[in-house]
Structure 1
Amino acid sequence: MLTACNPNVEQNSGSGTAPMDRGGGDSSNELVQPVVVGQFGPRFDACQATGVVRGVSGELPVRAAPFDQARQRDTLANGELVFVCNRSHDQSWLAIIYTGNGDISDACGVSVPVASRREYDGPCLSGWVSSAFIQLRAVR
């Protein structure tokens, strides 16, 4: 059977992130794509960069997947710091991990290597934001 004829088949974006999943929320159409850490293997930090929110007028939505239609999980304000773990295939979205208090913390567990690539399940918050409003920082 051709997959193009099957409405239940999701196309992987090829971004190296986990395949898109339909979440268990109230709507069966909820877009969810977990943040994945450890993209570069066990010799590198789980997330390779940090960033700061810049140029937002108001608040920057944090979404459940790298799509405007995905559920908004939270918001960030200018000056808040985040860990940057991955990006969408078209580079318009960044997968982030953040504390919720505007700063970054070693307690998130992503500034050290992890044994293998996996969905983030640590104590901090995670989601996807527009890359246009994150200024990357090489060192924290």
Structure 2
Amino acid sequence: MRSILLATFLLAGCNFATVESNVQTPDAQETPEALAPSARGVRVGEGGPGFAACQSQARVDGPQAGAGAVPMLDAPFDGAAMVVALPQGAALRVCTRTIDQRWLGVVVPREGVDCGVDARLDRPRTYAGPCASGWIAANAVRLTG
């Protein structure tokens, strides 16, 4: 009897009424900028404090042998803005990747410049170093170490 009474009180406290929202979602044609991909910084230090900020080395190796330059974008989307066109064989440091593994967040080392990607970081953060960073399609990269 007690359990039936308790269940009755619990159900009485539930409100099954439908809540209507007066928030209107804009039409895609009204706000095309809302649908455009925005720049997304490359995260470094995702391996934790026991590892370098960017753990892998790679080279640009386009999807087809002999292909021209490969674009490095400011976000992991096909429609994102190009940061720089990387030539075949360009060295990269791979710092992160998208969940679907299609895009790699990379830093492009420069001769004589410490990009800061070998440092061990106490927590992950967005790369803000002196070297160029961005996103490159994973099928345009060959990991080297």
Give the TM-score normalised by structure 2: 0.70
**Hey, what does 2:95 align to over in structure 1?**
85
**Hey, what does 1:49 align to over in structure 2?**
56
* Residue identity matched to 1:67: F
Partner SS, residue 31 of structure 1: coil
Partner SS, residue 108 of structure 1: coil
Partner SS, residue 123 of structure 1: coil
* Residue identity matched to 1:83: R
Offset of 1:112 from its aligned partner? 2.1
Offset of 1:78 from its aligned partner? 0.7
CA distance in 2, matches of 1:111, 1:137: 16
**Hey, what does 1:111 align to over in structure 2?**
118
Offset of 1:54 from its aligned partner? 1.0
Stretches of structure 2 lacking an aligned partner (at least 5 in a row): 1-19, 27-32
CA distance in 1, matches of 2:113, 2:25: 44
Answering whether residue 72 of structure 2 is matched by residue 65 of structure 1, we say: no
**Hey, what does 2:14 align to over in structure 1?**
none
The number of residues matched between the two structures is 114
Answering whether residue 108 of structure 2 is matched by residue 128 of structure 1, we say: no
Asked if the contact 1:49–1:136 (Cα under 8 Å) also holds between the matched residues in 2, the reply is yes
Percent of aligned pairs sharing the same letter? 35
Q: Structure 1 pair 30/79, CA: closer, same or farther in 2 (3 Å)? A: same
CA distance in 2, matches of 1:42, 1:6: 42
Of Structure 1 and Structure 2, which has the larger fraction of its residues in strand? 1
RMSD after superposition: 2.3
Offset of 1:31 from its aligned partner? 1.6
* Residue identity matched to 2:121: V
Stretches of structure 1 lacking an aligned partner (at least 5 in a row): 8-26
Partner SS, residue 129 of structure 1: strand
* Residue identity matched to 1:98: V
